[in-house]
């Protein structure tokens, strides 16, 4: 009876340190760094919206003079919308300026967007509401115009791209990457039963 030699056992150990190095370590570090970067960006943008709300509400003396805040009878929308001097919605914005419904929508929008961004919850809502708000403000300033309705130079530096579009893009990016999971309440929010049933609330 022929005897067949057994094949040599394969050494399952890696042959080099390079093979033994976990391949996931660099990616994990990069992911963690990216998550922290987006979280910091979320807090900064949230602070911008919250500051705008409180300054307009209480007249902190920056964009809104003291004693001219919303609680003092001032209008958060009248100054900006009545000053619109270009674009296809100029007369419409003038009609909206100072209207109670416009004041409430604008202020509640600032507060809601700022609060959700800061807390790290409902970022899809923040992205949608913030994009609508930024689009309206873009139309109000109307960067494509080279001249205002009175013939004065508009001082527009770019006919399409301005900071309103940058803010909108950032809000959308924060929602896409779920930036509320880091330094925020995003993970807790996602586990709530009513959020799991209504994914648009993420």
Q: What is the pLDDT of residues 113-165, one digit of tens each?
A: 999 999 999 999 999 999 999 999 999 999 999 999 999 999 999 999 999 99
Residue 31 pLDDT class (50, 70, 90 cuts): confident
Residue 70 pLDDT class (50, 70, 90 cuts): very high
Residue 90 has a pLDDT of 97
**pTM of the model as a whole:** 0.83
Q: How many angstroms separate the CA atoms of 31 and 104, rounded? A: 40
Span of 14-28, 46-60, 78-92, 149-163 with lowest mean pLDDT: 14-28
**Count of H-run helices and E-run strands, the chain:** 9, 0
State phi, psi for 62 to the nearest 5 degrees: -105, -95
State phi, psi for 122 to the nearest 5 degrees: 50, 45
User: Is 116:125 a contact under the CB 8 Å cutoff?
Assistant: yes
Residue 22 pLDDT class (50, 70, 90 cuts): very low
User: Is 34:28 a contact under the CB 8 Å cutoff?
Assistant: no
Q: How many residues does the chain have?
A: 202
Q: How many angstroms separate the CA atoms of 64 and 79, rounded? A: 10
Q: How many angstroms separate the CA atoms of 68 and 59, rounded? A: 6
The count of other CB atoms within 10 Å of the CB of residue 47 is 13
Residue 29 pLDDT class (50, 70, 90 cuts): low
The count of other CB atoms within 10 Å of the CB of residue 150 is 7
Residue 142 has a pLDDT of 97
């Amino acid at each position: 009876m022929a005897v067949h030699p057994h094949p040599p056992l394969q050494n399952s150990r890696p042959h080099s340190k390079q093979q033994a190095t976990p391949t996931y370590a660099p990616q994990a570090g990069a992911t963690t760094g990216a998550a922290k970067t987006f979280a910091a960006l979320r807090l900064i943008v949230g602070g911008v919206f919250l500051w705008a709300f409180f300054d307009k509400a209480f007249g902190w003396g920056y964009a809104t003079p003291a004693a001219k805040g919303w609680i003092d009878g001032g209008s958060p929308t009248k100054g900006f919308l009545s000053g619109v001097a270009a674009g296809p919605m100029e007369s419409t914005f003038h009609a909206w300026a100072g209207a109670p419904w416009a004041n409430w929508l604008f202020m509640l929008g600032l507060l809601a967007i700022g609060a959700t961004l800061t807390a790290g919850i409902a970022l899809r809502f923040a992205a949608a509401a913030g994009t609508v708000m930024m689009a309206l403000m873009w139309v109000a300033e109307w960067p494509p115009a080279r001249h205002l309705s009175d013939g004065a130079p508009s001082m527009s530096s770019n006919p399409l791209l301005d900071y309103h579009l940058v803010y909108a893009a950032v809000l959308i990016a924060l929602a896409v990457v779920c930036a509320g999971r880091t330094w925020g309440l995003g993970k807790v929010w996602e586990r709530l039963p009513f959020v799991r049933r209504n994914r648009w609330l993420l």
